[in-house]
Amino acid sequence: MKQNALTQLRDAALDLLFPPRCELCRTLQEPVICASCLQQFVCINDPICRQCGLPLDPLAHTTGHCAECLNDPPPFDAARTAGIYDGVLRQAIHVFKYAMVRAMALPLGDFLADHVMLPFPVDCLCPVPLHPSRERMRGFNQSFLLAERLGTRWNLPVETSKLIRMQNTPPQMQLPRDARQRNIRGAFAVRDSLSGCTIGLVDDVYTTGATLRECSRMLKRAGAARILVVTLARACMR
């Protein structure tokens, strides 16, 4: 019997013993995330801040930029996010990162690819790196897996050798907002010149933006012409 036939028989037997379930609601089904759970993700739509992508009050009179970007412009040129970091999408990201369900990368990456419109073209995608010790503990870098899926969907190369993590800083989620920028300062470095490149910087969640600002600062210092931040979800906490 051919190898592919043996593989099909093995998979069928495993499905009988351990039927596939949605990782979120546990209903029996085929995909990692069922259609019902996917429909509960809350997308981010206009109006948004033209620079950081923060959802804006549609009734407010704005210049197209949020107050923070006007008062303290970030080093990236624009940021775009697929959904709100809440509810079922928040649950999905936690299963992906903390329950270490690697297979979540495919449906979450597709959701991101389907719901983000690039405001300008980029030359390559660069995932926010984890420190090697944390990546070994988790088994993967969730930002790389999302970037890998985006690269396939958007026909863009994924660059992992330029931006590197130098310090294994405490997780940002454990720190108050005003301590996050200090915690992450100096944590990243860029190995080679990026002169003239337009970079798509990919991460899973945009919270205060401290990590994304620091990565962007280092990429710009290495010569990047423009930076577009692309994230799966946005914590709308401001």
Contact (Cβ atoms closer than 8 angstroms) between residue 165 and residue 188: yes
Pairing outcome for strands 78-84 and 226-234: parallel
Rounded average pLDDT over 112-131 = 96
Question: Is pLDDT at 14 greater than 50 in this prediction?
Answer: no
What's the predicted TM-score (pTM) here? Answer: 0.88
Question: Is pLDDT at 232 greater than 80 in this prediction?
Answer: yes
Nearest to 80 by CA among 56, 54, 104: 54
120, with CB counted inside 10 A (0-12, 13-18, 19+), is exposed
For the stretch 158-195, pLDDT in tens is 999 999 998 777 665 666 666 666 778 888 999 989 99
Domains of the chain: 43-234 (3.40.50)
For the stretch 68-95, pLDDT in tens is 999 999 999 999 999 999 999 999 999 9
Mean pLDDT for all residues in the chain: 88
Quote the pLDDT of residue 13.
47
